[in-house]
Amino acid sequence: MGKRVPRDPESREQRERAEQPPCGQEEALSPQQAVDDEEFSEEFPAELVPELARDPGRLQALREELSRLPTRPGVYLMKNAAGEVIYVGKAMSLRNRVRSYFQSSRAHPPRTRRMVAHIASIDYIVTDSEVEALILESNLIKEYSPRFNVRLKDDKHYPYLRVSLEEPFPRLSIVRRAKPDGARYFGPFPHAGAVRETITLLRKYFPVRTCRLPIDENTRLRPCLEYHIHRCPGPCAGLIDRQSYGEMIRQVVLFLEGRQDQIIAELRREMEQAAADLQFERAAVLRDRIQALQQVVEKQKIVTHDLADRDAVALAVDTGLDLACVQVFFVRGGKIVGREHFLVEEANGTPPEEIMSGFVQQYYRDATFVPPQILLQYPVESPAVVEEWLARRRGGAVHLHVPQRGEKADLMAMVAENARLTLKEIAAQRDLEAQRIREGLAELQRELGLERLPVRIEAFDISNTQGAESVASMVVLEGGHPQPAEYRRFRIKTVEGPNDFASMQEVVRRRFQHGLEERALLQEQGRLAGPDDTPAPQGPREGAAESGPEPGLAPQLPEAWASRRRPRFARFPDLVLIDGGRGQLNAALAGMAEAGVRVPVLGLAKQFEEIYLPDRPQPLRLSPHSPALYLLQQVRDEAHRFAITYHRRLRGKRAVKSFLDDVPGIGPKRKKELLRRFGSVRRMAQASIEELAAVPGMSRKLAEALWERCVKEYPAEGGAASARRPGAAGPEAAGAPPPDAATAAEASAAGVPSDSTR
C-alpha cells in the first residue's frame, strides 16, 4: 500500500511535477516503460530467487505489487513473511528501482540475493523529490533498523558532548541524544570513554564547573572543594562574573571545533595585557595554559595548505569478521584535529559504494557539524541529492569529492590505511578473546567434571533492601558471550523478609518449572523433536542420573501457554552459577529438586572467589589468572548488575508511590486532576462525594470508591465530611489542616504543586 508525504509548497520539484497525476491513478507509459512491461516475464528468474519459484502464491502477490508501483520518487520498504521491515531504500523512480531487484540482467551481489529471497511484500511512500526521499529513508532506517541495510554498530548509543549554553553558567556533560534545546553538541563519539577523556583534557585548560546546581548571577553558596583545588572558578559563590565565565566557555567551544590556534592567539594577548597591568600571577596561569595548548597543536599534522575545514572518510572490510571499519579524519584549518572509527555490521558481499553511502547518510544525520567539503574514498549513490541534503543540514553549500591525485589523495590514502590497521587490531582482539573463551570453557569442563562443554551458563542473584522489593535475576552466557535477549527478572512472591536462601530456592524452582511447561508444550506441538532442538541438561559427574524431569513429575500445562509465541525458558543450561556460598548453593539444589530436574550447578562466593560444588565438601580455588574463573566472574557480576538495577528501579517507584495509586480506576491523569483540585488526600476525605465527582474525568461511582478509601485513611475527616452538606467545603475551606509530608511528596511526583508549596 502506497503512502504520500506532504508536499513542500516552495520546492522546485513540486512545480516540476504539478501536472503529474496523483499516486494510484492511471499514467501514460513512456516507450521505455512499455519495454520494461514487455520484459516483465523475465523477472523472478529461478536462478536468482529459487525460493520465489517454489512459492507460486508469493510470486503472484509480488508481481501484482510490482505492477502497481508508480514512477515517482519515494521510499520503498521490503518486508518478510512476518511483516518485519528488512530493507529500506529510496528511488527517483520507484517502479524502475524496485523491479530491478527481480531482473536476471542485474548482477546482484550475494547480500542482495539473500535479501530478495526473504521478500514477501513491498510497501512504498511517495515523496515530492529525491532529497525528501533521502531524508525519509534515513528516518525509517533509524526507526526500523532493517537487517539488510548498512548499519553502524550500536549507533543508538553513540554519546555526545554537551555544552549547556542555555544556562547562565554553562557546564560540560555527556548525553546520548542531541536535542534542539539551545545547548551546543559535539559528536557523535564512538565510545563514552573518548568523551570523558575530552572532558578531562578540557578541564586541565579551562576549569569549567561540573556540578548540576541551578546557578545564576544572584546565587551565593559556599564554594566546594573543586574551587579550592583550582578546578572551578566558583560561579556558585559569585567569585566570577557571567561575562568572564562566558569568555572561557567560548574558548571551550573553539577548542572542540579544533581552532586551538585562535585560542592561543587570544590567550597570548590576555597574558601580555595582564603582565602590563602587573598581574603577574594571572599572566603565569595564562602562560601555562598557552604551553599546554601548544603541545596539543604540535601533535596535529598539517595535511592541506588551503586551511579549509573538511572531513575525510575511508573504509576497510574484513570478510572473516563480516565487518567494515569506517575511519573519519577531522581536518580543521588544514590540520588533523581528531579522528574516529565506526563499525558497520554484516558487510560481506556489500559493495564499498553502498557501505559509504549508508555511512554518510547515518553519520551526518546525527552529526553536530557538517563541514563544507567531505572527501570520500568511494562515491556515494546520487551525490547531487546527498549534497543538497547535507547543505540543508549545514545551512550552506557542501561538496562531496573523491580525490584522485595531490595532497587530498595522499590524505585519503592515510585515512584508508588507518581504517585497515584499526580493523586488523579489532580482529586480533576478537581472536584473543575467542581463544580466552575456549580455554575458559575447556578448563571449566575439566575442573568441574562435566560431560560436555558448558556452552550455555545461567547465573542467578538476589537483591533486596531488608527484604523489601526482593527480586532475582537470571543472566545467560552462551559461548562466552552475554545474551541480553535471554535475561530474565523475577519478583520474589512467597518469601517474607530478607531471606536470600528461600528466595534463591523459589526463583530456581520457578525457572525450571516454566522450562518444563514450555518443553511439554513444544513437544505437543511437534516443535521439540529431541535434544538437538533444545539441549537437554546432563548430570554433573560420571554415573550421575540423567538430567530432566523426575518420573511422575510431568507438569500440568496451563492453557495460557497455548497463546505464547516464543518460549522463554525451554532451553536448559549446561551449567548454573549461583551468586553465593554453600547456603545459596543448597537452596538452589532444593529448588531444582522441587522442579524435578538435575543440572550442573556451582556457587561462587565473592570474598575469596571460592567455587562451591554439591559433591565436594571443600571449596575449589582456581588461579586468579584462570580464564575459567574470569568467565565465572563475568557472568556472576552481570547477574548482580542486572538484579540490583531492577531492585533500584522498583525501590525508586515505591519512594514516590501515592495513596491514589492503590485506588482502582485512578490513573495518572485523574490522580493529577485530583491533586490539582484538592492538594492532598486529607482534603479529599474532607470533601463530599459530589465535589469528588465534579473533578474532570471522575464519575459518581469512582468518586464513591475514592471517598470510602479516603475515609479509611482519615476516619475523623471523613466523619466530618459526611455531616456537611455537599459543596460546603473545598480545597480553600478556612481552617483546613495542611497536608502531611507524604501527600506533598506525591503531589510533587504527579507534577502539580501541593498546598504546602503554593
* pLDDT given at position 105: 46
The overall average pLDDT reported for the chain is: 78
Which amino acid is residue 283, in one-letter code?
A
Residue 391: band (very low, low, confident or very high) from pLDDT cuts 50, 70, 90: very high
Q: Which of 2-16, 344-358, 411-425, 544-558 has the highest mean pLDDT?
A: 411-425
Q: Whose grid coordinates read 557523535?
A: 188
With 70 as the cut, is the pLDDT of residue 17 above it? Answer: no
With 70 as the cut, is the pLDDT of residue 23 above it? Answer: no
Residue 535: band (very low, low, confident or very high) from pLDDT cuts 50, 70, 90: very low
* pLDDT given at position 655: 63
Query: DSSP letters along 296-326, please?
Result: HHHTSPB--SS---EEEEEEEEETTTTEEEE
With 80 as the cut, is the pLDDT of residue 192 above it? Answer: no
Asked if 327 and 422 touch (Cβ cutoff 8 Å), the reply is yes
* pLDDT given at position 516: 92
Q: How far apart are the C-alpha atoms of 574 and 270, rounded to whole Å?
A: 68
Give the mean model confidence (pLDDT) for residues 426-455. 91
With 80 as the cut, is the pLDDT of residue 222 above it? Answer: yes
pTM more than 0.85: no
Q: Whose grid coordinates read 542486572?
A: 642
Residue range 549-606, pLDDT digits in tens: 433 333 344 444 444 456 788 899 999 999 999 999 999 999 999 999 999 999 999 8
Least trusted range by pLDDT, from 272-281, 376-385, 648-657: 648-657
Side-chain half-sphere exposure of 511, counting CA atoms within 13 A: 35
* pLDDT given at position 313: 94
With 70 as the cut, is the pLDDT of residue 330 above it? Answer: yes
* pLDDT given at position 146: 87
Residue range 633-650, pLDDT digits in tens: 999 999 999 999 999 888
Which amino acid is residue 585, in one-letter code?
L
Give the mean model confidence (pLDDT) for residues 686-696. 87
What single-letter DSSP state applies at residue 379?
A: P
Q: How far apart are the C-alpha atoms of 230 and 207, rounded to whole Å?
A: 7
Q: Whose grid coordinates read 538484579?
A: 643
Burial (0-12, 13-18, 19+ Cβ within 10 Å), 597: buried
* pLDDT given at position 54: 66
Asked if 322 and 348 touch (Cβ cutoff 8 Å), the reply is yes
Q: In sequence order, what are the residues at sequence separation of 6 or more whose Cβ sits closer than 8 angstroms to the Cβ of residue 439?
A: 627, 628
Do β-strands 468-478 and 335-345 pair in parallel, antiparallel, or remain unpaired?
unpaired
Q: Which of 100-114, 296-310, 621-635 has the highest mean pLDDT?
A: 621-635
With 60 as the cut, is the pLDDT of residue 752 above it? Answer: no
The H helix count followed by the E strand count for the chain is 24, 19
Q: Using alpha carbons, select from 106, 91, 89, 118 the residue that is nearest to residue 43.
A: 106
* pLDDT given at position 533: 46
Which amino acid is residue 486, in one-letter code?
E
Residue 122: band (very low, low, confident or very high) from pLDDT cuts 50, 70, 90: confident
Residue 190: band (very low, low, confident or very high) from pLDDT cuts 50, 70, 90: low
Helix (H, G, I), strand (E, B) or coil at 89: strand
With 90 as the cut, is the pLDDT of residue 528 above it? Answer: no
Give the mean model confidence (pLDDT) for residues 737-750. 44
Residue range 462-472, pLDDT digits in tens: 998 888 889 99
With 60 as the cut, is the pLDDT of residue 349 above it? Answer: yes
Residue 37: band (very low, low, confident or very high) from pLDDT cuts 50, 70, 90: very low
